[in-house]
Amino acid sequence: MRPVTGDLLLLKDVDTGLTVRGGQVLDTRGDEARPVYVVRWSDTGEVEMYIADETAYIHHVERAGVDEFSLATGFGSTPPEGSHEA
């Protein structure tokens, strides 16, 4: 599934599999074979173009309005409606 605006682009360390960086997808460009994302990185707030590679994966956000997320969890800072925090 192709990412849409608002989805999260998360980068994993190839050795450990741990998420090391993430950002919100602002736009998608390119084609299915070589996707290019315009991303606002959570650690710097900078907006950059990123060419997807094997370290990247997309977390599809199922509701609108999430504009920040925790790099530790990869999920939005605001819990989805109807969810319950422990």
pLDDT, tens only, 17-48: 888 999 999 999 887 778 889 999 999 999 99
Instruction: Classify strands 19-30 and 35-41 as parallel, antiparallel or unpaired.
Output: antiparallel
Looking up residue 26, the CATH number of its domain turns out to be 2.40.50
Q: How far is CA 73 from CA 7, 10, 36, 42, 49, in A?
A: 14, 10, 24, 13, 23
Position 43 scores a pLDDT of 92
Residue 39 lies in a domain: yes
Residue 54 lies in a domain: yes
Position 1 scores a pLDDT of 57
Beta carbons within 8 Å of 31's beta carbon, 6+ residues apart: none
Residue 68 lies in a domain: no
Residue 35 lies in a domain: yes
Residue 80: is its pLDDT beyond 60?
no
Residue 9: is its pLDDT beyond 50?
yes
Q: Which domain holds residue 38?
A: 8-59
User: How many independent structural domains does the chain possess?
Assistant: 1
